[in-house]
């Protein structure tokens, strides 16, 4: 009987350990797994429709996740998905201070885009070959939810140069309130050097994000490159600068039942999916095995107890 009790205790311990391991929060650190978007599942309209971003990679840029010392209540939550043609980004920006949309197309073209409420999203395709500094083949997409005279702005900058242009190969839409804005956009992979033809399950993209916030006393962009006087900058993760080998990493992930990059998946194993990351595991199978084992040992213990009582 004592042996049976010891076995039951061991099974319970294993069950608790497996449960803790399988259900632990996935780190929202500097590397993220990006889930595949189902065909036609994302509409670029600035509205986070029900189910549209389920399973997306998620991270938040704020003073807690960036170690930013200055006082600011800016918080920007990101959702990322992908398919063979596009990277999809949904950005939800909130602030206790009113959002200030003061940057214009002219500011973007002159390099002053980051001196107001805006986002800079840097990317470089990791093809296994370290880039030649100081001008690696990264792309910097720069966008804002609104501007003084029009809707959202969407531009692209090539590497560290001043080669800027409004971005027309993607799509952007936003919904803007006084203290909140939601932006949905897509970026075409073929506009990222070396990425065309290589976008598939397991591909790695180096990236980092810089969110800027207009300071409260600023009414318009005036002085060239005076961003410290104009705006706060919150940079998420590591690798600020041209050394892209030290940037964050997004790894493109596809479930076994999907067919990214014209590959046919044959593995139809049913697995549980983490709703936050899209990662799958065999936790359901493990739970079934452990529960069955626990039931068997409980029956053994009950039988032994009954026999001991009869004797």
CA–CA distance, 37 with 50 (Å, rounded to integer): 14
Looking at residue 131, its pLDDT comes to 57
Cα end-to-end span (Å), the chain? 13
At residue 160, the pLDDT reads: 67
| pLDDT for residue 141 | 96
**Kind plus residue range of the DSSP H or E element containing 185:** strand 180-188
Paired with 57 in beta bridges are 80
- pTM assigned to the model: 0.73
- b (16+ CB within 10 A) / e for 65-101: bbebeeebebbbebbbbbbeebbbbbbbbbbeeebbb
pLDDT at position 138: 87
Q: Note the Cα 283 to chain centre separation in Å.
A: 24
pLDDT digits (tens, 9 = 90+) for 282-300: 444 344 444 445 454 444 4
Angle subtended at Cα 236 by Cα 138 and Cα 214, rounded to the nearest 5 degrees: 95
Q: Evaluate whether 50 touches 42 at the Cβ level (below 8 Å).
A: no
pLDDT value of residue 126? 80
Q: Is 215 helix (H, G, I), strand (E, B) or coil?
A: coil
Give the integer Cα–Cα distance in Å for 291 and 73: 46
Residues in CB range of 75: below 8 A, 6 or more apart:
60, 61, 62, 93, 94, 95
Within its chain, how far is the Cα of 252 from the centroid?
Answer: 11
For the stretch 27-59, pLDDT in tens is 334 799 999 999 999 999 999 999 999 999 999
Residue segments in the chain with a per-residue pLDDT below the cut of 70: 1-29, 128-136, 160-161, 239-242, 257-311
Render 100-147 in DSSP notation, one character per residue.
Answer: -----HHHHHTT-GGGSSEEEEEEEE--SS---TT--S-EEEEEES--
């Amino acid at each position: 009987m004592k042996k049976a009790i010891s076995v039951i205790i061991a099974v319970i311990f294993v069950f608790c350990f497996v449960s803790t391991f399988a259900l632990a929060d996935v780190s929202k650190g500097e590397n993220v797994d990006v889930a595949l978007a189902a065909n036609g599942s994302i509409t670029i309209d600035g509205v986070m429709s029900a189910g549209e971003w389920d399973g997306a990679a998620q991270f938040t840029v704020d003073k807690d996740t960036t170690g930013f010392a200055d006082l600011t209540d800016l918080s920007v939550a990101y959702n990322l998905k992908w398919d063979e043609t596009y990277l999809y980004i949904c950005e939800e920006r909130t602030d206790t201070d009113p959002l200030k949309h003061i940057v214009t197309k002219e500011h973007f073209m002159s390099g002053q885009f980051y001196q107001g409420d805006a986002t800079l999203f840097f990317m470089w395709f990791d093809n296994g070959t370290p880039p030649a500094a100081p001008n690696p083949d990264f792309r910097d997409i720069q966008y804002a939810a609104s501007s003084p005279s029009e809707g959202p702005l969407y531009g692209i900058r090539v590497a560290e140069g001043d080669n800027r242009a409004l971005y027309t190969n993607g799509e952007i839409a936003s919904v803007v309130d006084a203290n909140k804005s939601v932006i949905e956009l897509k970026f075409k992979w073929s506009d990222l050097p070396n990425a065309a033809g290589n976008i598939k399950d397991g591909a790695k993209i180096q990236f980092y994000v810089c969110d800027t916030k207009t300071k409260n006393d600023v009414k318009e962009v005036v002085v060239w490159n005076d961003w410290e006087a104009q705006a706060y900058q919150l940079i998420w993760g590591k690798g600020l600068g041209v050394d892209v080998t030290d940037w964050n990493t997004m790894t493109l992930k596809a479930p076994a039942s999907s067919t990214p990059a014209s590959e046919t998946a044959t593995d139809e194993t049913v697995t549980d999916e983490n709703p936050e990351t899209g990662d799958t595991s065999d936790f359901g199978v493990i739970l079934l095995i452990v529960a069955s084992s626990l039931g068997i040992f409980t029956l053994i213990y009950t039988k032994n107890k009954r026999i001991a009582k009869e004797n």
